[in-house]
């Protein structure tokens, strides 16, 4: 064996980046989470070449102090938690303090921000190389812009795993839509190769919210969807579930959020499947957009680097609540509405599975 050596910070970050930055859509996810955590009400995304050439996320959130800008790019640097106890009830989407460090180790990253209402602002740039952040003044309205260019330019092995521009674009489009469903109070814009794809205003009313759901999940879903909102002993489940007559051959129209965080969870999946069991043909999949709200101290979000998984303190209670809420809602549907259609519902706008 050779002697033990400390990895240099850049290499350490590049290795850590493997967990967080799989492809362009993972970058978009982290940048959107940061914008939402910063209290933005408007988020604009620009991408080129499926995100590989360029991803730019601009927000009108609180911004980053000039003196904090270099820190924002350091690993294990976060403004969101201070001590171990804070992990017990994380209220933000981020908390690990590694996204920007990881991204900047495998791409050319420019971070521009302004915390004041005057047109001012500062910029730091990091090019994977030395992680030395240089500060320079840069005009920017209140908020933050993160620009990520040439993803994996210095890690050719990772670059080889990227798919076609179209595939990568579809993945990041899914991520934005998933995030847009999590925050109706935020406006989202996407431009692809300098062409406007969509621009969704804040959705304050129920009608506006349902319009956004229809834009993401397709109008057919919305036409067949039951709106539910059930609260019981500190748990709340609300959203839209498709009547059993609207079902799919794949689990590709399933959105589940826990305290605003999009998650894929076995327990949740099982509870939902069980609720639909008697009203769906075998092998068919339900479609839903559901929001579970629980006391943050009863759910552990620090389970996985991409934060796609959570752990509930009381599994059984959460499972039973989801199951019984949905079971009850579906039982209200007229019997004639059930088991009607075996045909696939029209393709929704999303290609990824929840
Ligand atoms: N869009 C943004 N607006 C305001 N602050 C931001 C933004 N993006 C990043 N930051 C700041 O940079 C820090 C590091 O971001 P990140 O690496 O994603 O870690 P985390 O989100 O886990 O804290 C954040 O804690 C936050 O203080
Ligand atoms: Mg973050």
pLDDT digits (tens, 9 = 90+) for 160-182: 999 999 999 999 999 999 999 99
Spatial distance between the Cα atoms of 52 and 106, rounded to a whole number of angstroms:
11
Ion ligand 2 — residues with CB < 5 Å: 34, 94, 99
Given ligand 1 and candidates 72, 77, 116, which is best to mutate, with the most ligand atoms within 8 Å of its CB? 72
pLDDT of 128 reads 64
Interval 98-106 mean pLDDT = 93
Given ligand 1 and candidates 17, 20, 37, which is best to mutate, with the most ligand atoms within 8 Å of its CB? 37
- Same-domain status, 322 and 176: no
**236 inside domain:** yes
**CB–CB of 44/58 below 8 Å?**
yes
- Same-domain status, 66 and 164: yes
For atom 4 of ligand 1, the residue with the nearest CA is: 63
- Same-domain status, 184 and 45: yes
- Same-domain status, 178 and 223: no
State phi, psi for 211 to the nearest 5 degrees: -65, -40
Burial class (CB in 10 A: 0-12, 13-18, 19+), 265: buried
Cα Rg of the chain, angstroms: 21
Interval 48-77 mean pLDDT = 95
Spatial distance between the Cα atoms of 81 and 305, rounded to a whole number of angstroms:
16
> Of 200, 234, 252, which residue sits at a domain end?
200
pLDDT digits (tens, 9 = 90+) for 195-215: 999 999 999 999 999 999 999
Q: Which atom of ligand 1 is nearest to the CA of 81?
A: 23
Spatial distance between the Cα atoms of 21 and 175, rounded to a whole number of angstroms:
14
> Distance between alpha carbon 352 and the CA centroid of its chain, in Å?
12
For atom 1 of ligand 1, the residue with the nearest CA is: 35
Interval 17-25 mean pLDDT = 91
Question: What's the gap in Å between 34 CA and the centre of ligand 1?
Answer: 5
Burial class (CB in 10 A: 0-12, 13-18, 19+), 226: middle
Q: Which of 195, 187, 173 is nearest to 29 (CA)?
A: 173
Q: What is the pLDDT confidence band of residue 132, given thresholds at 50, 70 and 90?
A: low
- Same-domain status, 274 and 136: no
**3 inside domain:** no
- Same-domain status, 163 and 262: no
**349 inside domain:** no
The CATH number of the domain holding residue 48 is 3.30.565.10
Q: What is the pLDDT confidence band of residue 242, given thresholds at 50, 70 and 90?
A: very high
- Same-domain status, 57 and 109: yes
- Whether residue 143 has pLDDT greater than 70: yes
Given ligand 1 and candidates 27, 74, 78, which is best to mutate, with the most ligand atoms within 8 Å of its CB? 78
Q: Are strands 187-192 and 42-48 parallel, antiparallel or unpaired?
A: parallel
Q: Which atom of ligand 1 is nearest to the CA of 101?
A: 17
For atom 12 of ligand 1, the residue with the nearest CA is: 72
- Same-domain status, 186 and 239: no
pLDDT of 344 reads 45
**94 inside domain:** yes
- Ligand 1 pocket, Cβ-based, cut-off 6 angstroms: 30, 34-35, 38, 59, 61-64, 72, 77-80, 94-101, 144
pLDDT digits (tens, 9 = 90+) for 287-337: 999 999 999 999 988 887 777 889 999 999 999 999 999 999 999 875 544
Question: Residue 317 is encoded by which pair of tokens?
Answer: 């209670």
**350 inside domain:** no
- Indicate the average pLDDT of the chain: 90
Residue keyed to tokens 């998984």: 309
**167 inside domain:** yes
> Of 172, 200, 228, which residue sits at a domain end?
200
pLDDT of 350 reads 53
- Same-domain status, 225 and 187: no
Those residues with Cβ within 8 angstroms of residue 229's Cβ, 6 or more apart along the chain or in another chain:
236, 237, 238
The CATH number of the domain holding residue 237 is 3.30.230.10
What b/e string do you get for 130-169 counting C-beta neighbours within 10 Å, with b at 16 or more? ebebeeeebebebbbbbbbbbbbebbeebeeebeebeebb
Q: Which atom of ligand 1 is nearest to the CA of 57?
A: 1
Q: Which domain holds residue 254?
A: 209-337
The ligand that comes nearest to the alpha carbon of residue 81 is 1
- Same-domain status, 220 and 189: no
- Same-domain status, 236 and 323: yes
Alpha helices (runs of H) in the chain, residue ranges in sequence order: 9-20, 24-37, 69-72, 99-105, 156-159, 165-182, 206-217, 219-223, 266-276, 315-331
**351 inside domain:** no
> Of 169, 200, 231, which residue sits at a domain end?
200
- Same-domain status, 215 and 185: no
- Whether residue 345 has pLDDT greater than 90: no
Work out how many domains the chain is built from and give that number: 2
**125 inside domain:** yes
């Amino acid at each position: 064996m050779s002697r033990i050596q400390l990895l240099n910070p850049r290499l350490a970050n590049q290795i850590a980046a493997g967990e967080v930055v799989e492809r362009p859509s993972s970058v978009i996810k982290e940048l959107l989470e940061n914008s939402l955590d910063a209290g933005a009400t408007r988020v604009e995304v620009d991408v080129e070449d499926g995100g590989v050439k360029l991803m730019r996320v601009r927000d009108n959130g609180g911004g980053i102090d000039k003196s904090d800008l270099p820190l924002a790019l350091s690993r294990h640097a976060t403004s969101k938690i201070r001590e171990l106890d804070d992990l017990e009830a994380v209220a933000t989407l981020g908390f690990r303090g590694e996204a920007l460090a990881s991204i900047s180790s495998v791409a050319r990253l420019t971070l521009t921000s302004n915390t004041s209402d005057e047109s001012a602002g500062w910029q730091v740039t990091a090019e994977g190389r030395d992680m030395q952040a240089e500060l320079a003044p840069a005009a920017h309205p209140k908020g933050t812009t993160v620009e990520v260019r040439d993803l994996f330019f210095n890690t050719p092995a990772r670059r080889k795993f990227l798919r076609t521009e179209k595939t990568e674009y579809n993945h990041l489009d899914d991520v934005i839509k998933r995030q847009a469903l999590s925050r109706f109070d935020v406006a989202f814009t996407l431009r692809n190769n300098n062409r406007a794809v969509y621009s969704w205003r804040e959705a304050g009313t129920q009608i506006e919210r349902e319009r956004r759901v229809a834009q993401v999940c397709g109008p057919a879903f919305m036409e067949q969807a039951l709106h539910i909102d059930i609260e019981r002993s500190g748990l709340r489940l609300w959203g839209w579930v498709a009547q059993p007559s609207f079902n799919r051959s794949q689990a590709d129209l399933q959105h589940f959020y826990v305290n605003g965080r999009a998650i894929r969870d076995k327990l949740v999946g099982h509870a939902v499947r069980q609720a639909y069991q008697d009203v769906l043909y075998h092998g068919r999949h339900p479609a839903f957009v559901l929001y579970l709200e629980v006391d943050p101290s009863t759910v552990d979000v620090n389970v996985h680097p991409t934060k796609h998984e959570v752990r509930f303190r009381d599994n059984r209670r959460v499972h039973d609540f989801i199951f019984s809420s949905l079971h009850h809602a579906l039982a209200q549907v007229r019997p004639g509405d059930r088991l009607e259609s075996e045909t696939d519902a029209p393709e929704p706008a999303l290609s990824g599975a929840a």
